[in-house]
C-alpha cells in the first residue's frame, strides 16, 4: 500500500482521527481551539488515502511540543520529511519511541500516566481558595519560579481556570489548567504547584479540587498527566476521584545530524 505524508489544516479531518482515542489525545484536541490552532502544524501519514498516523507540532510554548498518535512505523516519513524542529518536548506511546529515536536523541525521558475523572467519582475537598485572574500573572510567575520546570504561559490563565491559596497576602499554592476546550468539551488540569515552605498542608488538593469542580460544572471531560513515580501527586488525584486511563511517555528530543541518523537507522 502506498504511504504518503501531507500537512493537514482541516479541523474536521484532524479531529476525526484524534477522537478514536480522545482522552489520550486530549491536549492535541484542545489545540484545535482557534487561539491555539494558529500555533499548530499538523502532519498526517496516509496509506491509500486513509490516515494512519498523525503528528502535531505546537509552537506556543518553548520548546516546541510534539504529539504522536497512530501506527508507529507510519510516523517514519513524517519525521524524515515534515517535522524539522531541532528541539522539542515529545508526548508519545511506548511503541513510538524506537521510531522517534532514529531522528532525535532523547533525554529526560519520563514515564507518565494520563488520568481521568468521571463526574460521579468526584470527591471534592473543602477549604478557602481564591479564583485567580489576569491580575495574578506576576504572582503566579513568581510562585512557579520555585518549581523550575513548570510550563506556564499567561494565556493559560486568560483562557483557563486557576485557583490559589494565599497566606499573609502571598500566593503559596495554585492549580490550574493547561487548556480548556469548550468546543470539544475538555478541561486539562495542570500547573499544580505549592511553595516548598507550605507543602504537606493540603493546599494543592484544595486548589485542584476547586479547578475540577468548575470544569465539571461546565460539563467538560477532565483529564491530567502525572509522572508514574510521583506517588504523592497520584494519591492526591486519586483522593479527588481520578483514575489511570493509560500510560505514555514524555521526553526532550534533540534532532540528530543526517549522517548520525542514517548510521543509527542501519545499526
End-to-end alpha-carbon separation of the chain, Å?
26
Find the helix packing angle between 203-217 and 231-240, rounded to 10°: 40
In sign, the C-alpha dihedral spanning 255, 27, 99, 70 is negative
Find out whether 223 and 189 touch, Cβ atoms under 8 Å: yes
Is 145 among the domain residues? yes
Same domain, 188 and 208: yes
Neighbours of 206 (CB within 10 A): 21
265 pLDDT band, cuts 50/70/90, is: very low
% the chain with pLDDT above 70: 95
DSSP assignment letter at 143? H
Is 199 among the domain residues? yes
Residue 148 has what pLDDT?
Answer: 62
Which domain range does residue 129 map to?
Answer: 123-240
- Please state the length of the chain: 267
* Residue 266 reports pLDDT greater than 60: no
Same domain, 101 and 132: no
Is 186 among the domain residues? yes
Question: H-helix or E-strand containing 37?
Answer: helix 34-37
* Residue 7 reports pLDDT greater than 70: yes
Q: In the chain, how many domains are there?
A: 2
Is 117 among the domain residues? no
Burial of 203 (0-12, 13-18, 19+ CB in 10 A): buried
Is 208 among the domain residues? yes
For residues 90-102, give the mean pLDDT: 97
Is 96 among the domain residues? yes
Same domain, 231 and 253: no
Query: How far is residue 219 CA from its own chain's centroid?
Result: 20
Same domain, 143 and 196: yes
Burial of 90 (0-12, 13-18, 19+ CB in 10 A): buried
262 pLDDT band, cuts 50/70/90, is: very low
Peptide bond into 63 cis (omega under 30): yes
Say if strands 130-131 and 104-117 run parallel, antiparallel, or are unpaired.
unpaired
Same domain, 108 and 61: yes
Rounded-to-integer distance, Cα 40 and Cα 11, Å: 11
Q: What is the CATH number of the domain that holds 192?
A: 3.40.630.30
Q: What is the CATH number of the domain that holds 81?
A: 3.40.630
Same domain, 75 and 100: yes
Same domain, 132 and 232: yes
Distances (CA, A) of 23 to 38, 112, 122: 22, 14, 18
Is 185 among the domain residues? yes
pLDDT one-digit tens code per residue, 22-59: 999 999 999 999 989 999 999 999 999 999 999 999 99
Chain position carrying cell 518549581: 147
Residue 147 has what pLDDT?
Answer: 79
Same domain, 129 and 204: yes
Is 118 among the domain residues? no
Residue 58 has what pLDDT?
Answer: 96
Find out whether 251 and 106 touch, Cβ atoms under 8 Å: yes
Amino acid at each position: 500500500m502506498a504511504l504518503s505524508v501531507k500537512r493537514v489544516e482541516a479541523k474536521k479531518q484532524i479531529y476525526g482521527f484524534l477522537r478514536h482515542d480522545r482522552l489520550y489525545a486530549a491536549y492535541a484536541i484542545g489545540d484545535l481551539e482557534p487561539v491555539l490552532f494558529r500555533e499548530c502544524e499538523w502532519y498526517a501519514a496516509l496509506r491509500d488515502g486513509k490516515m494512519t498516523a498523525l503528528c502535531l507540532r505546537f509552537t506556543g510554548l518553548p520548546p516546541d511540543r510534539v504529539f504522536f498518535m497512530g501506527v508507529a512505523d507510519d510516523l517514519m516519513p513524517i519525521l524524515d520529511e515534515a517535522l524539522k524542529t531541532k528541539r522539542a518536548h515529545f508526548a508519545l506511546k511506548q511503541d513510538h519511541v524506537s521510531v522517534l529515536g532514529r531522528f532525535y536523541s532523547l533525554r529526560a525521558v519520563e514515564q507518565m500516566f494520563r488520568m481521568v475523572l468521571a463526574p460521579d467519582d468526584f470527591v471534592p475537598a473543602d477549604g478557602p481558595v481564591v479564583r485567580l485572574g489576569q491580575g495574578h500573572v506576576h504572582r503566579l510567575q513568581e510562585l512557579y519560579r520555585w518549581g523550575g520546570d513548570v510550563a506556564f504561559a499567561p494565556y493559560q490563565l486568560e483562557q483557563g481556570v486557576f485557583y490559589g491559596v494565599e497566606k499573609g497576602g502571598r500566593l503559596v499554592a495554585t492549580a490550574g489548567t493547561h487548556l480548556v476546550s469548550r468546543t470539544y468539551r475538555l478541561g486539562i488540569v495542570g500547573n499544580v504547584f505549592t511553595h516548598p515552605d507550605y507543602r504537606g498542608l493540603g493546599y494543592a488538593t484544595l486548589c485542584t479540587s476547586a479547578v475540577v469542580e468548575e470544569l465539571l460544572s461546565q460539563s467538560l471531560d477532565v483529564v491530567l498527566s502525572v509522572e508514574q513515580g510521583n506517588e504523592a501527586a497520584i494519591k492526591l488525584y486519586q483522593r479527588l476521584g481520578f483514575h489511570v486511563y493509560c500510560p505514555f511517555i514524555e521526553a526532550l528530543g534533540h534532532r540528530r545530524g543526517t549522517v548520525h541518523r542514517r548510521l543509527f537507522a542501519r545499526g
